[in-house]
Amino acid sequence: MLTNPHVGLLFVIPGRRDTLRINGRARLISDAPFFDDLVVQGHRPVLALVVEVQQIFHHCAKAFMRSELWDPQTWGDDLPSTAVLAKTLTTTDETLSELERYYGADYAEGLYPSAARACRPLG
């Protein structure tokens, strides 16, 4: 995005087969008056992605219907864990075991951490 600001956003709503596609130009901002409206559990965003909408498309349901994307019977169980993906796709000194603990059952508790228990970036 820093070298090519053109973006495409696909809005998918679970249970709906149709989607909404928005094309536009994106930019990152580090402060704006609307940041105060985005506070969640006391955490104010430090960055936001602003998209200047240039095109909007409604996509029919054919692709989702053919793919059976919303049918849990078609999902399979052979997907790698988040920890495996992190170890494979990032440069990190953390072991797979450490990553499994980090992304384990307590991961959701760190979504809105206190200053003492902040999430750290990998790598």
Supply the pLDDT for residue 2: 84
- Tell me which H or E stretch contains 114: none
For residue 100, the SS3 value is: helix
Cα 15 off chain centre by:
19
Cross-sheet strand order for the sheet of 19-29 = 6-11, 19-29, 48-59
How buried is residue 83: exposed, middle or buried, by Cβ count under 10 Å (0-12/13-18/19+)?
buried
What's this model's pTM, rounded to 2 decimal places? 0.62
Q: For the chain (length 123 residues), average pLDDT per consecutive 10?
A: 93 88 96 94 92 94 86 84 93 92 84 57 52
Say which DSSP state 77 is in. S
For residue 17, the SS3 value is: coil
How buried is residue 58: exposed, middle or buried, by Cβ count under 10 Å (0-12/13-18/19+)?
exposed
Residue 14 and residue 121: Cα distance in Å, rounded?
A: 29
Q: Assess contact for 82 and 110: CB atoms under 8 A.
A: no
Supply the pLDDT for residue 32: 95
Supply the pLDDT for residue 74: 86
Say which residue the tokens 């760190």 belong to: 110
